[in-house]
Amino acid sequence: MASNSTKEAAELRELSPVVEGPPPALPKGTIDPIYAAKAKALNAEIQKIGMGWYQWQLFVVVGFGWASDNLWPIVTSLILPPVSKEFDLDKPPLLSLAQNIGLLVGAMFWGFGCDIFGRRWAFNLTIGITSVFGLVAAGSPNFVALGCFAAFWSFGVGGNLPVDSAIFLEFLPGSHQYLLTILSVFWALAQLLATLIAWPLLGNLTCQETSTTCTRSENMGWRYFLICMGAIAMVMFFLRFVCFTLFESPKYLMGRGEDEQAISVVHEVAKRNKKSSSMTLMDLQVFDQEGQQGTNASAVLARKLEKLNLTHVRALFATKKLAYSTTLIMLVWAFIGLGYPLYNAFLPYIQSTRGASFGDSSTYITYRNQLIIAVLGVPGALIGGALVEVPRFGRKGALSVSTALTGVFLFASTTALTSNSLLGWNCAFSFTSNVMYAVLYAYTPEIFPTKDRGTGNALTAMSNRVFGIMAPIVAIYANLETAAPVYVSGALFITAGVLVTILPYEPRGKASL
């Protein structure tokens, strides 16, 4: 009987919808084989169901996370000049330092936490926390309070991309992975929206750069702006939590030993897409050996302990090529993590202070220029999505060229002798940097194997956030009224662009592992 049972199980495995496993270059034994087989079966069933109404709704609400990831750092940069004026700050970049600390802690907490308490709560709470503290920050009585609230709202913001990208990929058919690149449009639109609202509020209801005094009543614009941004985040939270039903990830449920619930979610997604699924509980349980569930409590505990002993981290450095690739992409994220906020986060401040030397220091002109710059980011994100599929150019070519050009345009901006010429160089910077981010967000997860992708994304995110914390510190000691931060930022982008050219993998035209 036992022999017949084993034979039957083997036959069922042969018939199960499982794709090929990872290539030989990956180390063996770093993941539970039963868990891996079940995950492949679920992936195959999601592919059969295809892209439907549920995934398109998910695309929109996940886009809120992408938007939030860019919206709130932009908010911080936009309010920096009037906040600095009202509170008479000696070191304005301290506000960005508080923000970046919150982003780092948030990325770590929510990124790892969603594996413990599930995706659904993390998915909804990140934007909810952001909206609450964004609204509360509008009433800040002093700079210390504002810095604390900025750190708290950033704690929510920091979890958006790690959590949202995991949710989207776990419900997305492999044939539609390109949509991960298209999500960057939400990132660019957020900057446009924030700047569009900031222009009348911060341009007309805040103290001028040339003002000798600045009272709260004369400088209410930045507070109204925070209320607007907090309200937008609250609407996003409402649409996610009330109007959209997010199902728990089938692979997350399966990993907890809840195979029956995982199958139920697959059938519910098929139903939402007006299709049907023939997957049964047996299609997962067939992979259990000798009647033991490979995803029971003990197996789950074993995998948790694997994470604690850095199994998945070691897997990304298991061969020379993997170690080389992982190290380089972490460096690219780190250099961009320092270069981008060093310049972009302080752009309104740089424009207003340098505008004074051009005889054009009004806050109205400062935020009008910011709006023009933001508009150029939208086509940049779309073009980035198209460039990655160009033959003999691909991901690496698009990423390398756009990153290096971003640095070149920053260097060129130091030659500006008029406000309009500075605006022109900043528009070029906005366009190429949005191309860069669109490609970077798509390229990074593609070069990590599926079983270690979360760890790889965590390593790159931490590299980015840690160096982001360094940006305001550099800005404080470099003096924002000089071009020093611009030179440092430009050099970092060019260096990152060069590093991309020696990355060993080009995923264009290849299915992610």
For residue 356, give both structure tokens.
Answer: 């004074």
Residue 264 identity:
S
For the ranges 56-65, 210-219, 347-356, 395-404, the lowest mean pLDDT is seen at: 347-356
| Residue ranges of the chain assigned to CATH 1.20.1250.20 | 28-309, 311-513
Q: How confident is the model at residue 450 (pLDDT cuts 50, 70, 90)?
A: low
Question: In the predicted model, what is the mean pLDDT of residues 166-177?
Answer: 77
Tell me the residue length of the chain. 513
Instruction: For residues 320 and 302, give the distance between their C-alpha atoms in angstroms, rounded to a whole number.
Output: 28
Instruction: For residues 262 and 5, give the distance between their C-alpha atoms in angstroms, rounded to a whole number.
Output: 25
pLDDT at residue 344, rounded to an integer: 66
Q: How confident is the model at residue 234 (pLDDT cuts 50, 70, 90)?
A: very high
Identify which of 67-81, 139-153, 342-356 has the greatest average pLDDT: 139-153
Residue 432 identity:
T
pLDDT at residue 6, rounded to an integer: 43
Q: In this predicted model, what pLDDT tens digit does every residue of 75-128 receive, in sequence order?
A: 998 898 899 889 988 888 789 889 989 998 988 788 767 766 777 888 889 999
Query: Per-residue DSSP letters for 374-399?
Result: HHHHHHHHHHHHHHTTSTTTHHHHHH
For residue 265, give both structure tokens.
Answer: 């979610």
Question: In the predicted model, what is the mean pLDDT of residues 439-460?
Answer: 75
pLDDT at residue 330, rounded to an integer: 92
Average per-residue pLDDT for the chain: 79
Q: Are 332 and 402 in contact (CB under 8 A)?
A: no
- Asked if residue 31 has pLDDT above 60, the reply is no
Residue environment code for 98-129, b if the CB has 16+ CB neighbours within 10 A, otherwise e: bbbbbbbbbbbbbbebbbeeebbebbbbbbbb
Can you tell me whether residue 289 is helix, strand or coil?
strand
Q: In this predicted model, what pLDDT tens digit does every residue of 303-353 receive, in sequence order?
A: 554 544 566 677 777 778 888 888 999 999 999 988 887 776 566 566 555
Instruction: For residues 505 and 443, give the distance between their C-alpha atoms in angstroms, rounded to a whole number.
Output: 10
Q: Are 153 and 72 in contact (CB under 8 A)?
A: yes
pLDDT at residue 373, rounded to an integer: 83
Instruction: For residues 490 and 110, give the distance between their C-alpha atoms in angstroms, rounded to a whole number.
Output: 31
pLDDT at residue 316, rounded to an integer: 76
Q: CA 75 → CA 223, 237, 372, 437, 480, distances in Å?
A: 11, 18, 16, 19, 19
Strand partners of residue 352: none
pLDDT at residue 132, rounded to an integer: 96
Q: In this predicted model, what pLDDT tens digit does every residue of 485-507 receive, in sequence order?
A: 778 889 999 999 999 999 988 76
Work out the percent of the chain whose per-residue pLDDT is above 90: 24
Does the domain at residues 311-513 carry the CATH identifier 2.60.40.730? no
pLDDT at residue 293, rounded to an integer: 43
CATH of the domain spanning 28-309: 1.20.1250.20
Q: Are 41 and 284 in contact (CB under 8 A)?
A: yes
DSSP at 451? G
pTM: 0.78
Q: In this predicted model, what pLDDT tens digit does every residue of 418-427 receive, in sequence order?
A: 778 888 888 8
